[in-house]
Structure 1
Amino acid sequence: MTAAVLHGKEDLRLEQVAMPVAGPGEVIVRVGAALTCGTDLKVYRRGYHAAMGKPPMLFGHELAGTIVELGSGVTAFSLGDRVNPLNSAPCDACYFCLHGQENLCEDLLFNNGAYAEYARIPARIVDKNMLRVPDDVPFEHAALTEPLACAVRGFEETGAKSGDSMIVIGAGPLGLMLMHVAEIAGVDVIAVVKRADQVEVAKVFGARQVVRVDEHDDVVAAARALTPGGRGADVVIEAVAVPQTWEWAVDMVRKGGVVNFFGGPPSGTKVQLDTNRLHYGDITLKASFHHTPATCRRAFGLVTSGRFKCAEYITGRIGLDGVPAEFPRMMARVSGVRDIKTAVFPGGVR
């Protein structure tokens, strides 16, 4: 079969590889659609991922498709089922799983290989984290479940409720998802964005007001001015992962508010925070990583119910042969172009 294989830093090739075979408890899925992802872009730039694999490795992790082979012992699914296999599954037996923190599982099983004609789905994912896709939901929409589950968990971890104010810093793919999840929940969203083209897209996904960083000498003051009484937002979610925006997040939240450091920074990144403000402001600092089977199901519900703007979120469509060129294009982001996620169709663009 044809598949995208990562051989190292910025070295992605389309190759012929062996057709996967389903082992006990596993299934083989004919990929209907896969999606590009910021995590995949990080792996492409770096050439590896400590938890997800080392080169040469099959690439991509957001997919949906049709079951074409069942391994022995699989009874919950049938040939021809349309499914969304998530990219990971916890063990349910380690310390963290037993404490309801499956996202931190000590044996978290990851799966790659979305940019291919077929994908082998490990037994644990089949058992714990594969969802049946309704006939009226396009595969490319179902594949949004994985990143959306991360956004759902990030939002839920803040404790935000309808009527609260929230600042989301960053309008990348996950930042936009966080805005939209918050809007759906009835939260008043203020977006802090970098580029002019991000202003309108932030509004599309639920931001009532938008602050452009290049239009203000004091971005913190500009954002706080839009919150009730200018006191700061009830919740601030940082989705950029640089020290400056981490510091902004703490300065933009109100006393007694919650900050979620959602963006994933490089190892060794340091920030300076005003400890006096943290203590006397009674501010809660959190971070959220990855998803759990439960948040995957809640995200899947948003997708399949039509409440999430799936069509607006997918801004490009390519065949499998376009994957090697897609990642250099993503790195060379063109200002003024709405570029969120590209759907990859191994069977050809529809």
Structure 2
Amino acid sequence: MSLTVPEVFPASLSEIIPDSLPETMLAAVLYGQEDVRIEQVPVPHAGPGELIVRVSAALTCGTDLKVFRRGYHAKMIHPPALFGHELAGVVAEVGEGVTNFAVGDRVMPINSAPCGECYFCKRAQENLCEDLLFNNGAYAEYFRISARIVAKNTMLVPPHVSLEHAALTEPLACALHGFQDSNPRPGDTVAVIGGGPLGLMIMHVASLAGCKVIAVVKHDAQAAIARALGAAHIVQTTIAEDAVSAVRDLTPDKRGVDIAIEAVALPETWEQAVEMVRNGGLVNFFGGPETGTKVQFDTNRLHYGDLTLKATFHHTPAICRDAFELIAGGKFKAGLFITGHAPLSELNGAFAQLLNRGSQGNQIKTAILPASGLEPAAGKVEALP
């Protein structure tokens, strides 16, 4: 599955944004478990404070894959519904009262925005907002950005940044939050368990921050990209005890790593992380297992090892801006995370490919391009060295 991505901009803005929006558009509608249909639906229009964006690229992600498999999301999606949330595009319509954006602007909306008024928001914990507003519907030709997200969590994309790279901001913000929440220091040794998109992002962020990264992955493809993203060492095994021993063998006196970040969301890898970290170290349970999952820890190890255990969920507007600047600044190797392109009509095939070949680690994210030729990438997709 592939789609040629043009490398030159259209001749004029009218080729991107028509004089008036059409009445209907193609969009992916989730009806239930592995039941997604590409249908004609009404084009949304901008209410007060809102924007309508013509979608240039919408990226597949682990959350959307879970939604596809399960047929719903308890907090965000109840079928039938539009879905998809990692996107960037071009403003096609501006709602009343919006002054910071204009038709033709290249923008990247984050998938949520906090209320700013609840108990958690007032304690600078906006990721735990009691009225966190979510946006869904990225797998479509047009997308409505709600007023709160326009005001708090939508960014202008500079000309030198491709929109499909800008669309990586939301997952990168989650990864950056998890890393920053682990209180790292330059020179720390950080073990990251898991070679999925977010695990790989955490590895890359940690490497860019001057940490020594040990990547704990299963597959050859994951090992290759982890090296390309700055991992100093690769531990590739499916046996938990071997992984713990291999990680400890890479640290002075086998004492363990300073920080262990779990990004798999399985009870056995949560337990592994605790065994990998040194006395006085920190474990971040970044991956969230299913509700009701139980784990077992040696209380002696936790207490006398003086371990810090924590978890990190979602992101904040400030962290989203930090992630966006990391992409715009060019240090973050965005191109390595987009391993395929597909038109909207092939969304089901893209999910099937992620479920199959993705299990071998050679598929990270597919950029769904609802309007072929709408927006070029800034250069070709990067290849592994």
Please state which band the TM-score falls in when normalised by the shorter chain.
Answer: over 0.9
Question: Kindly tell me: are residues 334 and 235 of structure 1, through their superposed partners in 2, closer, same or farther at Cα, counting changes over 3 Å?
Answer: closer
CA distance in 2, matches of 1:40, 1:161: 33
Deviations 1:305-335 (A, max 9, x none): 0010011111101111111221122112366
Partner letter of residue 282 of structure 1?
A: D
3-state SS of 1:15 partner: strand
Q: Paired residue for 1:282?
A: 306
Q: By how many angstroms is 1:228 displaced?
A: 2.6
Matched, 1:6 2:30: yes
CA distance in 1, matches of 2:320, 2:252: 33
Partner letter of residue 199 of structure 2?
A: G
3-state SS of 2:216 partner: strand
Q: Paired residue for 1:119?
A: 143
Partner letter of residue 97 of structure 1?
A: C
Aligned positions of 1:83-162 closer than 5 A: 83-162=107-186
Partner letter of residue 210 of structure 2?
A: G
Q: CA RMSD in A?
A: 1.3
Mean Cα deviation higher: 332-341 or 282-291 = 332-341
Matched, 1:301 2:325: yes
Deviations 1:133-175 (A, max 9, x none): 0011111000000000000100000011110000000000000
Q: Paired residue for 1:197?
A: 221
Q: Paired residue for 1:206?
A: 230
Q: By how many angstroms is 1:346 displaced?
A: 1.0
Mean Cα deviation higher: 85-94 or 211-220 = 211-220
CA distance in 2, matches of 1:227, 1:79: 54
CA distance in 2, matches of 1:347, 1:227: 50
Matched, 1:229 2:253: yes
Q: By how many angstroms is 1:278 displaced?
A: 0.5
Choose the corresponding residue for 2:84, options 24, 48, 60.
60
3-state SS of 2:181 partner: helix
Q: Paired residue for 1:256?
A: 280
Partner letter of residue 315 of structure 1?
A: T
CA contact (8 A) 1:318 1:348 kept: no
CA distance in 2, matches of 1:188, 1:24: 48
Structure 1's unaligned 5+ residue stretches are none
Q: Paired residue for 1:50?
A: 74
Q: By how many angstroms is 1:200 displaced?
A: 1.1
What is the TM-score with the length of structure 2 in the denominator?
0.89
CA contact (8 A) 2:196 2:361 kept: no
What is the TM-score with the length of structure 1 in the denominator?
0.98
CA distance in 2, matches of 1:214, 1:32: 38
Q: Paired residue for 2:293?
A: 269
Q: By how many angstroms is 1:197 displaced?
A: 2.3
Q: By how many angstroms is 1:215 displaced?
A: 7.3
CA distance in 2, matches of 1:278, 1:119: 47
CA contact (8 A) 1:190 1:210 kept: yes
Q: By how many angstroms is 1:206 displaced?
A: 1.6
Partner letter of residue 235 of structure 2?
A: V
Q: Paired residue for 2:187?
A: 163
CA distance in 2, matches of 1:191, 1:232: 14
Q: By how many angstroms is 1:115 displaced?
A: 0.7
Deviations 1:266-302 (A, max 9, x none): 0000000011110111100010000100110000001
Aligned residue pairs total 350
CA distance in 1, matches of 2:73, 2:109: 20
Q: Paired residue for 1:37?
A: 61
CA distance in 1, matches of 2:317, 2:185: 22
Q: By how many angstroms is 1:194 displaced?
A: 1.3
Aligned positions of 1:163-182 closer than 5 A: 163-182=187-206
Where has structure 1 moved over 3 Å in runs of 4 or more?
214-217, 334-337
Query: Quick one: percent identity of the two aligned structures?
Result: 62
Matched, 1:243 2:267: yes
CA contact (8 A) 2:240 2:268 kept: no
CA distance in 2, matches of 1:194, 1:75: 49
3-state SS of 2:42 partner: coil
Matched, 1:185 2:209: yes
Partner letter of residue 304 of structure 1?
A: A
Deviations 1:36-93 (A, max 9, x none): 0000001111111111120011110000001110110101111111100000000000
CA distance in 2, matches of 1:113, 1:51: 15
Question: Kindly tell me: are residues 218 and 297 of structure 1, through their superposed partners in 2, closer, same or farther at Cα, counting changes over 3 Å?
Answer: same
Partner letter of residue 20 of structure 1?
A: P
CA contact (8 A) 2:195 2:361 kept: no
CA distance in 1, matches of 2:238, 2:275: 18
Choose the corresponding residue for 1:21, options 38, 41, 45.
45
Q: By how many angstroms is 1:99 displaced?
A: 0.6
